Structure 1
């Protein structure tokens, strides 16, 4: 039987087969470029969008939250002895840009990488301030202070590694972090005021001047605690690395000095609580109660960690507590009603 004409085998379309695979690879680069251009255009359009005051408070809260978290991740580096997991900066070592992501190297590099997230948050705070409507110059200046602080923190962190965790340099790194938390708190509180004329918030004086005075006294005592605490840490066992240098002070004497500054803070907080109660202002009383509770918790954790030989978990809790105290006292100082006080917006 005649099977009929045999159909010719179809040729592969142009761009298929082995030659087609090469063609597809050649097309991949333009496609990727096109996608990147679209993403860039979308980001540019997003940046040009106006930002409402309520939305901008979310920007500032994110910056404050991440700046607080990186204090804890930095403490984790020190408390796990991972401070020299990467012995070089900005590279991990002479031979590695990024070392293996485990052990001390992994902990140190995770902290460095988290700095990238913090950087994004503070840059977003600046861009948000520029696009906020109505625009307020003071918010932009405070947002830029966060960028300057993060840059200083990054550079100082490099110096800390290159000096093999010199305790004096480590203290400087911690204090920069505390200044950043303070600055981010100021930005977040000011972003919540209804002063959209462009000027600063009213100074927290007038209606409750004694509350204001007591708050500033508590802030001064807290500053002393922030200095003496890291000195005690730099004298004790948690230097960040087994071979890191330490202060040559007597640990008992240093702890007594730190304890004295802590009791000074307690005295200022008691005064603040008394004046807040006299003010009969509900929000002021509530903010003061938060400070009282944080101070009591700090004292309990501090004495417990000393009695138990400063276990890392309690030291980390102590650092979290003092960070929250910076936020709480700063908020109270800024939000104490003055004669022309503007209430914060709802969050």
Structure 2
């Protein structure tokens, strides 16, 4: 591919420019999670009968809230598709980036591309909750890939230092990612078992809501224990870890808001707009956790300055 890029006359991409590309890619993937959740929670999942157009014989939707929301999500999905492709191609021309970043960027693009046929299959299967959940979880996987690339791009552009934390704590970071992934999966199972199937019509639910919430709460406890260990070390060695401590504290704040929203939505019988906020916050917690773990292993110099 390097030969092809050279023949097309593509110039070397500066580390600063690639940093902007990488973060735009990650932000766009976060945005499409928001629009996708909006489709499901407003019951707009089957508002467009065709794909990629909305109606048979007409590409654009007729006037209506549900069809506009569904079609708007499809249009917005073009942005992360283009940006992840650009991030992949530019990674081959960005000076200083290790080869593995190119592979992660490539897999992120391919995962984003796979969302299109997966979305079509989800519609063809009348929003089967297992398919909807898979659609959502793939979105989180590619978001994680984009965040890892963005953190590496930050280190490449602004300098990188040896990790200020011991190997065992970096291992805790990996455990946190796994625990947070479990949280996300059980949260998706809770949504799949909940009252928002993705369409205004009756759709089969997946699993039992109370069982799903039970597992989700237990996974939260595991994540919390690991995070307390990480935070305790960062506080004790705050002079050494620099801005890694504020980054971790920011995650604490996000977690507290997420927990509060989760409790409020449960006590108010899961109104769709509160569930939307909960899902968007969950994606933020996931991305933040992945970013923090990546920074513990490959630490950008900017994050170690007090």
Q: TM-score range with shorter-chain normalisation?
A: 0.7 to 0.9
Residue-by-residue CA offset, 1:125-164 (whole Å, 9 max, x unaligned): 1232233235643332222112101111111111111100
Q: Which of 294, 303, 306 pairs up with 1:334?
A: 294
CA distance in 1, matches of 2:35, 2:98: 33
Q: Which of 128, 133, 144 pairs up with 2:95?
A: 133
CA distance in 2, matches of 1:165, 1:117: 24
Higher relative contact order (Cα pairs below 8 Å, separated by 6+ residues): 2
Change beyond 3 A, Cα 1:190–1:248:
closer
What are the ranges of 5 or more consecutive residues in structure 2 without an aligned counterpart? 1-7
Other-structure match for 2:84 = 122
Q: Which of 294, 298, 301 pairs up with 1:343?
A: 301
CA distance in 2, matches of 1:344, 1:179: 26
CA distance in 2, matches of 1:314, 1:342: 35
Residue-by-residue CA offset, 1:170-224 (whole Å, 9 max, x unaligned): 110011000011000011011122399xxxx9996x8423432332222122111
**Partner SS for 2:92:** helix
Other-structure match for 2:269 = 309
Tell me the C-alpha RMSD between the 2 structures: 2.8
What are the ranges of 5 or more consecutive residues in structure 1 without an aligned counterpart? 1-45
CA contact (8 A) 2:197 2:205 kept: no
CA distance in 2, matches of 1:203, 1:164: 50
| Cα drift, residue 269 of structure 1 | 1.7
CA contact (8 A) 1:129 1:139 kept: yes
**Partner SS for 2:203:** coil
Task: Tell me the TM-score normalised to structure 1 length.
Answer: 0.77
Change beyond 3 A, Cα 1:106–1:288:
same
Other-structure match for 2:31 = 69
Change beyond 3 A, Cα 1:345–1:336:
closer
Other-structure match for 1:229 = 187
Other-structure match for 2:3 = none
CA contact (8 A) 2:39 2:69 kept: yes
Other-structure match for 1:283 = 243
Residue-by-residue CA offset, 1:16-62 (whole Å, 9 max, x unaligned): xxxxxxxxxxxxxxxxxxxxxxxxxxxxxx97343210111000011
Change beyond 3 A, Cα 1:135–1:217:
closer
Q: Determine whether 1:51 maps to 2:13.
A: yes
Change beyond 3 A, Cα 1:218–1:318:
same
Greater gyration radius: 1
Corresponding residue pairs, total: 296
Q: Which of 208, 211, 224 pairs up with 1:250?
A: 208
CA distance in 2, matches of 1:134, 1:213: 26
